[in-house]
Amino acid sequence: MITVTVYRKRLERLGACAEGLALYDQIADGTDCIVIANWTRLHSIWPYVAGYGAFARWLEARGIIPRADLFGADLSGTDLSGADLSGADLSGATLSGADLSGANLSGADLSGADLFRANLHSTDLFGADFSGANLYGANLSGANLYGATLSGATLSGADLSNTYLYGADLSGAYRGSSSPIAGWRTNASGYLERDEEVTRAAE
């Protein structure tokens, strides 16, 4: 287990932002340091969920707190709505039934993640990697998937209404008998292939 100690004077010396210092004061309650024994993944993810993602990355970059390790984490049913998890490594994580609505997951690695019936409504997924992920029954309505990779993902039953898919790679994703996706066709086995006729017409 890791014990993390954060000193206010060190934060000041390193140029912490006012918002970060205010958060420290709120937690420290007048003491000159914060000591967290047995640092866990939940400690790592809390600042991102609470809206202090930028400050958390600042702390991580200076070795004040451990880098968030969410690889393979079990976050099923977790409320991560509005969280800033941009660039996070969530590969192989379990996020079934999790609420990620309105979150920022741009550039995040979710390859092989289980997002069964997860709520990703209006989530920023710009450039995210969902290759091989399970998105069965997930709510992706209104999400931004510009440039995202979903090759080999399971999209059966997923709600893609009003989803921005420009530049997204859905090749080999399993759609089953679910509603069609513009620019893609579902082959006899239920897998998505780029609709070349639509592509040529757009050129």
Tens digit of each residue's pLDDT (9 = 90 or more) over 19-30: 999 999 999 999
Residue 12 in 3-state DSSP?
helix
Confidence category of residue 144, pLDDT binned at 50, 70, 90: very high
The candidate with the shortest Cα–Cα distance to 98, out of 113, 74, 80, is 80
Residue 89 and residue 163 share a domain: yes
Dist. CA 66–CA 57, nearest whole Å: 10
Residue 56 and residue 83 share a domain: no
Q: Which of 17, 41, 61 is the last residue of a domain?
A: 61
Dist. CA 202–CA 191, nearest whole Å: 22
Residue 51 and residue 19 share a domain: yes
Residue 47 and residue 76 share a domain: no
Residue 110 and residue 193 share a domain: yes
Q: How many residues does the chain have?
A: 203
Residue 165 in 3-state DSSP?
coil
Tens digit of each residue's pLDDT (9 = 90 or more) over 155-201: 999 999 999 999 999 999 999 999 999 899 999 999 999 987 544 44
- Domain range enclosing 106: 70-203
8 Å CB contact between 67 and 6: no
What is the structure's pLDDT at 53?
86
| Residue 41 backbone dihedrals phi, psi, to 5 degrees | -60, -30
Q: Which of 61, 86, 108 is the last residue of a domain?
A: 61
Residue 39 and residue 19 share a domain: yes
Residue 94 and residue 25 share a domain: no
Other Cβ atoms less than 10 A from the Cβ of 48: the count is: 23
Confidence category of residue 18, pLDDT binned at 50, 70, 90: very high
Token pair of 179, please? 């509603």
Tens digit of each residue's pLDDT (9 = 90 or more) over 118-128: 999 999 999 99
Between 42 and 80, where is the model more confident?
A: 80
Query: Would you say residue 137 has pLDDT above 90?
Result: yes
Q: Is the pTM of this model over 0.75?
A: yes
Beta strands in 156-198 (DSSP E): 184-186, 192-194
Number of domains the chain is built from: 2
Residue 98 and residue 8 share a domain: no
